[in-house]
Amino acid sequence: MQTTFPRLLQKHATERPSAPALREKEYGIWQTTTWSALRQEVQSLACGLHQLGLQRGEHMVVIGSNRPRLYAAMLAAQSLGAIPVPLYQDAVAAECVFPLNNAEVRFAVVEDQEQVDKLLEIREQCPQLAHILFDDPRGLRKYDEPGLASLDEAVAAGEVFARQHPQFYDEQIESAKPDDVAAMFFTSGTTGNPKGVVHTHLSLLDRAEAGAIFDRLTSAEDVLAYLPPAWIGQNIFSYAQWLACGYVVNCPESGATVTIDLKEVGPTYYFAPPRVFEGLLTSVMIRMEDAGAFKRGLFHYFMRVARQYGPDRMDGKSIGAVASLLYQLGDWFVYGPLRNNLGFSRVRVAYTAGEAIGPDLFTFYRSIGVNLKQLYGSTETAVFVCLQPDHEARADTVGVPCKGVEIKVADNGEILVKSSGLLKEYYKNPAATAEVLTADGWYHTSDAGFLDSHGHLKIIDRVKDVGRIKGGANDGAMFAPKYVENKLKFFPHIKEAVAYGDGREKVCVMVNIDFDAVGNWAERRNLPYAGYPDLAGKPEVYALIQECVEKVNADLAEDKLLAGSQISRFLVLHKELDADDGELTRTNKVRRGFIAEKYQVLIDALYGGKSEQYIETQVKFEDGRTGSVSATLKIFDAKTFATVGKAA
């Protein structure tokens, strides 16, 4: 798409001035911003930022939830040729230091007092940070800091400037080119400092358009923007595609109201990582277990009908008259009310990405009439590499290459990608750029996988994480930790798992239980517990997790390629893995190397044949205080199975 984000705003404001562009729920009431009103605010804010000294090519950090004002701030920066850099709103202050200094940030636009406090805390470490502009003034009335001001002040000053210089804003927009830098996104930094991924207007809008064409998106779509704007997945769906298509983006009142807002909005186009779909399903199953016998029986009967016929029906296949009637009855009594309760009654296209989704979870949503599909991409590819066509959605693939994408598989199994959506560079990191971008334009994804006979891409694991078992009965067997971890996480009782085995004679795993799901399971069995550590250590819970582990082993045994990755020993951790404790990234990906160092005593116990191990771990609480949690963890052996299948 040979244009820029501000020009698309101009286009919508000119052609559809009174159409809704953004909605925000405030004090329980949805407030609408039209395209013409948004254009006016962006113009005023751009002029205000110009007066404060924001320069073309300069970076401006944006920190907060999805808010119309923050979207306007990003558009205002782009109108001036500056580069918005969204950061995670739940990152602790120390995590912001490197991005601010690396990008030499002088301007920050933030949502509220929480983010202001965060930046003021690290201001001495970021001496170049001159201006902090906030959207929500609550709690900030008595703050007296140099360069701290409200966005309202910038808008008011910009309105005066715009009246005095009526051509300025349009001239700034017209001077921008599609191959100018439009935004920078910092990676999660699983192995070190995060890298700034530089994208142009062209790369982001090209992928936004490719996705829109693939799924026939129009200006009639409704989207709920509730994931972090710093994650490029959310940014593409609710910013790049929003401006490319001109549909309506709805911003929830808060994180606590998302499920309510989801039902009120009834989005037609929906995106979520697997953990969100898992959470929604877990809440449904918990409520159904607490329902009366008749309702529970009705639900389980029609869910059997749905599992038998729903996927074929969703794939456009004929299921026969009797099955169609049964399914229709199920839709009246169960599936329709369930979709409505989840907020999916109007969903035409739903996507999941970021991690593998469990087959049962994937099938559940498609069986009740939700067109859930998978996609494949990354920050560096502007998300859209592979997408699943409507009638070819499968749990074990991530789709076919979409428009403008070429894929090839290297000799070591690594997926290489070529498209117009690739990053321009890693900011100030030419060595890292040269590692991932070849001279002839191929991007090294670092993912191992292959194209199946239908042209669908299958991802096994990260190339660097694919290892080999060394010694023992499975000497030389392939070990794919992420593949094993994802299979465990397919069970609703397991929230997180960390697998080890490369260079060792067997695979061992540390497991996090899902506190809500296992807690409900325990309560139904009159099993008392006092908090997470107590529940995680219950013998009954260990038996439950052992059953899950052994089901995974039985499944792995059917694949000759990965049968050696069966789990020999496991333990259940005494605390939840947490991004604040450094164990997960801000996108909830396991930092396997960090965890190995932190829990070395547990890994030694797993491989040393011990039956239990004492550990004391430091934790960080939500209010910033630190403490410790200790426990003596049991270590269990798991049953493994003889290989019975063929290589994938």
What digits encode the pLDDT tens for the residues 276-291? Answer: 898 888 888 778 877 8
SS3 content of the chain, % helix, strand, coil (to 5): 40, 20, 35
Residues 82, 132: one domain?
Answer: yes
The answer to whether 252 and 224 have CB atoms below 8 angstroms apart is yes
What digits encode the pLDDT tens for the residues 297-308? Answer: 999 999 999 999
Cβ count near 535 (within 10 Å): 20
**Residue 221: inside a domain:** no
* Integer Cα distance of 125 and 93 in angstroms: 11
What digits encode the pLDDT tens for the residues 475-493? Answer: 888 888 988 998 898 888 9
CATH code, domain with 407: 2.30.38.10
Q: What is the CA radius of gyration of the chain?
A: 26
* Integer Cα distance of 436 and 408 in angstroms: 14
* Integer Cα distance of 405 and 390 in angstroms: 19
Residues 562, 438: one domain?
Answer: no
Residues 333, 480: one domain?
Answer: no
What digits encode the pLDDT tens for the residues 504-527? Answer: 999 999 999 999 889 999 998 999
Alpha helices in 334-478 (DSSP H): 336-342, 359-367, 430-436
Return the pLDDT at 189.
66
Residues 338, 405: one domain?
Answer: no
Domain count, the chain: 4
Return the pLDDT at 587.
73
Residues 324, 362: one domain?
Answer: yes
Q: Among residues of the chain, what percentage have pLDDT more than 90? A: 75
Asked if the model's pLDDT at residue 356 lies above 80, the reply is: no
Note the maximum CA span of the chain. Answer: 80
Residues 473, 607: one domain?
Answer: yes
Torsion angles phi and psi, residue 367, rounded to 5: -70, -25
Asked if the model's pLDDT at residue 185 lies above 50, the reply is: yes
Which is it for strands 386-387 and 372-376: parallel, antiparallel or unpaired? antiparallel
* Integer Cα distance of 234 and 227 in angstroms: 6
The answer to whether 250 and 237 have CB atoms below 8 angstroms apart is no
Domain range enclosing 418: 397-465
Residues 164, 286: one domain?
Answer: no
What digits encode the pLDDT tens for the residues 415-443? Answer: 999 999 999 999 999 999 999 999 999 99
Of residues 3, 1, 84, 2, the one with CA closest to residue 42: 84
**Residue 646: inside a domain:** no
**Residue 329 banded pLDDT, cuts 50, 70, 90:** very high
* Integer Cα distance of 437 and 622 in angstroms: 40
Return the pLDDT at 567.
96
Strand order in the sheet with 20-26: 29-34, 20-26, 248-251, 222-224
Residues 444, 538: one domain?
Answer: no
Q: Which two tokens stand for residue 296?
A: 């529970």
* Integer Cα distance of 275 and 495 in angstroms: 8
Last residue of one domain, picked from the residues 172, 199, 226:
199
Average of per-residue pLDDT values in the chain? 92
**Residue 498: inside a domain:** yes
What digits encode the pLDDT tens for the residues 401-419? Answer: 999 999 999 988 899 999 9
* Integer Cα distance of 507 and 488 in angstroms: 13
Query: Which region, left, alpha or beta, applies to residue 196 given φ > 0 means left and ψ of -120 to 50 means alpha?
Result: beta
CATH code, domain with 486: 3.30.300.30
Mean pLDDT value across residues 76-93: 96
User: Which residues touch 201 (CB under 8 Å, ≥6 apart)?
Assistant: 3, 4, 5, 78, 176, 177, 178, 179, 180, 182
Residues 48, 195: one domain?
Answer: yes
Q: Which sign does the torsion angle of CA 558, 559, 563, 568 carry?
A: negative
Of residues 605, 604, 601, 603, the one with CA closest to residue 617: 601
**Residue 645 banded pLDDT, cuts 50, 70, 90:** low
Of residues 44, 71, 43, the one with CA closest to residue 170: 43
Return the pLDDT at 538.
95
Residues 445, 506: one domain?
Answer: no
The answer to whether 5 and 21 have CB atoms below 8 angstroms apart is no
Query: Which region, left, alpha or beta, applies to residue 10 given φ > 0 means left and ψ of -120 to 50 means alpha?
Result: alpha
Alpha helices in 62-200 (DSSP H): 68-79, 93-102, 113-121, 151-164, 168-174
**Residue 280: inside a domain:** yes
Higher pLDDT, 471 or 500: 500
Return the pLDDT at 358.
74
- Helix, strand or coil for residue 372? strand
Instruction: Give DSSP secondary structure letters for 263-311.
Output: HHH--SEEE--HHHHHHHHHHHHHHHHTS-HHHHHHHHHHHHHHHHHHH
Residues 555, 618: one domain?
Answer: yes
CATH code, domain with 136: 3.40.50.12780
**Residue 252: inside a domain:** no
Return the pLDDT at 648.
46
Last residue of one domain, picked from the residues 199, 233, 260:
199
Higher pLDDT, 21 or 588: 21
**Residue 245: inside a domain:** no
The residue with tokens 């979520």 is 272
Asked if the model's pLDDT at residue 190 lies above 60, the reply is: no
**Residue 256: inside a domain:** no
What digits encode the pLDDT tens for the residues 41-55? Answer: 999 999 999 999 999
Last residue of one domain, picked from the residues 465, 493, 508:
465
Residues 346, 433: one domain?
Answer: no
Return the pLDDT at 67.
96
Q: Indicate the range of 90-99, 187-196, 610-619 predicted with least confidence.
A: 187-196
**Residue 119: inside a domain:** yes
DSSP annotation of 240: I
* Integer Cα distance of 559 and 644 in angstroms: 7
